[in-house]
């Protein structure tokens, strides 16, 4: 019998803002993952549908077009199958996925090469990134209010498009039938996210995401949890990244997660499968590169003590900046890319 799905709270952002901010803080502390509902005014379902249509078009571009846009040390561009290894300590084979990272747009223009196949769609990609950015600022503002630090969190983000590691990422996982893999392989290795918060968009019926629970077991994360089946689009999944965990001295959980091959396992969610290609879109929200990762001046953060919770493991040696932390994590993920190139 498959394990129970992850117990992740569903929060309606349209509710009274003081109550929503408290709910968000509690969910960030207890779970690290949050479903967000009723976002029609923030990110309409039609915009999400359009983004997934763009994703399919992007990945269907000829291989030579994508290779000409290969990822660089600025974390922008295309990555091929197995190019990333998100769990290098345990993975024998790199991730079973391809991805395309867009950095910040300026005047609706990508500051990087993009495949000619989608060149005419540049403004559409930029418009979706703008919607994601605005939602992240809204959530960061509410989290700051819930911690009683006002705009401390939101003000650390998006001051300049050139000074942040924020990434809009499109992902495609090929169907298991098209890959040679073992029962021990995963589609994306176990990891926590590197930034502040992540917005994750998924398609109904597409399986694979799991989170690591406090008891050390893995639980599948439904695309449409009970009560959201009739929503115009599945709720956006928010997860807390490393930096919000560091800023809150471990109060907010940067929860480890992975993407698996459910067809090879007992796990799974009823109605979801991995027969077809799996598409997802992630908006990785990062603060400005020069922001220090010091605990925020919050009474709840100062009063937080929980045995076994990982706080900032680097703070005793040196208070890192957000940019230094991102570079450290990217070196672990891509290895030789950062050894071969110095810029």
What is the tens place of the pLDDT at every residue in 224-266? 999 898 889 999 999 999 999 999 999 999 999 999 886 544 4
Compute the average pLDDT of residues 203-218: 91
228 CB-contact burial (10 Å; exposed 0-12 / middle 13-18 / buried 19+) = middle
Domain annotation covers residue 78 = no
- Which one-letter DSSP state was computed for residue 186? -
* Weakest mean pLDDT among 86-100, 149-163, 306-320: 306-320
Give buried/exposed letters for 128-147 (b at 16+ CB in 10 A, else e).
Answer: bbebbbebbbbbbbbbbbbb
What rounded mean pLDDT belongs to the chain? 88
Compute the average pLDDT of residues 54-78: 97
pLDDT at 103 over 50: yes
pLDDT at 124 over 80: yes
- Spatial neighbors of 338 by CB under 8 A, at least 6 apart, are 73, 327, 330, 331
Token pair for 290: 């020069």
Phi-psi category of 130—alpha, beta or left, where left has phi over 0 and alpha has psi -120 to 50? alpha
Domain annotation covers residue 95 = no
Of the chain, the percentage scoring pLDDT greater than 70 comes to 91
Full domain range(s) for residue 270: 10-57+128-337
Domain annotation covers residue 342 = no
* Weakest mean pLDDT among 24-28, 77-81, 172-176: 172-176
pLDDT band for position 342 (cuts 50, 70, 90): very low
Q: Which of 125, 118, 122, 109 shows the shortest CA–CA distance to 61?
A: 118
Domain annotation covers residue 77 = no
pLDDT at 343 over 70: no
Question: What is the structure's pLDDT at 56?
Answer: 97
Alpha-carbon gap, residue 221 to 267, rounded angstroms: 11
Compute the average pLDDT of residues 65-90: 92
Domain annotation covers residue 103 = no
Phi-psi category of 127—alpha, beta or left, where left has phi over 0 and alpha has psi -120 to 50? alpha
pLDDT at 339 over 70: no
CATH of the domain at 218: 2.60.120.330
* Weakest mean pLDDT among 47-56, 183-192, 199-208: 183-192
* Weakest mean pLDDT among 106-120, 145-159, 174-188: 174-188
Quick check: 159 and 288 in contact, CB under 8 A? Answer: yes
Number of structural domains found in the chain: 1
Q: What is the pLDDT of residues 223-235, one digit of tens each?
A: 999 989 888 999 9
Question: What is the structure's pLDDT at 105?
Answer: 95
The dihedral sign for the CA sequence 12, 235, 258, 53: negative
Domain annotation covers residue 85 = no
């Amino acid at each position: 019998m498959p394990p129970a799905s992850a117990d992740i709270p569903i929060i309606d952002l349209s509710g009274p803002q003081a109550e929503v901010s408290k709910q968000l803080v509690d969910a960030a502390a207890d779970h690290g993952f949050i479903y967000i509902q009723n976002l029609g005014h923030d990110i309409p379902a039609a915009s999400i549908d359009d983004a997934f249509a763009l994703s399919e078009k992007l990945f269907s571009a000829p291989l030579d077009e994508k290779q000409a846009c290969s990822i660089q040390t600025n974390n922008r561009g295309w990555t091929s199958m197995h190019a990333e290894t998100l769990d290098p300590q345990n993975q024998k084979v790199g991730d079973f996925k391809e991805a395309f990272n867009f950095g910040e747009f300026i005047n609706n223009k990508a500051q990087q090469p993009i495949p000619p196949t989608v060149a005419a769609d540049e403004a559409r990609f930029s418009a979706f990134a703008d919607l994601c950015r605005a939602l992240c600022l809204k959530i960061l503002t509410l989290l700051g209010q819930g911690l009683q630090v006002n705009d401390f969190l939101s003000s650390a983000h998006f001051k300049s498009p050139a000074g942040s590691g924020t990434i809009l990422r499109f992902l495609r996982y090929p169907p298991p039938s098209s890959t040679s893999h073992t029962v021990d392989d995963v589609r994306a290795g176990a990891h926590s996210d590197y930034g502040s918060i992540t917005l994750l968009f998924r398609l109904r019926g597409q399986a694979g995401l799991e989170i690591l629970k406090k008891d050390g077991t893995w639980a599948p994360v439904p695309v449409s949890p009970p009560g959201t089946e009739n929503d115009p689009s599945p709720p956006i999944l928010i997860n807390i990244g490393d930096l919000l965990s560091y800023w809150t001295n471990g109060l907010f959980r940067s929860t480890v997660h992975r993407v698996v091959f459910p067809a090879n396992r007992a796990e799974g969610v009823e109605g979801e499968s991995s027969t077809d290609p799996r598409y997802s879109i992630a908006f990785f929200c990062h603060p400005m590169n020069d922001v220090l990762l010091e605990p925020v001046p919050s009474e709840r953060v100062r009063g937080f003590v929980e045995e076994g919770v990982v706080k900032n493991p680097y703070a005793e040696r040196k208070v890192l900046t957000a940019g230094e932390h991102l570079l450290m994590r990217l070196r672990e993920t891509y290895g030789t890319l950062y050894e071969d190139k110095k810029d």
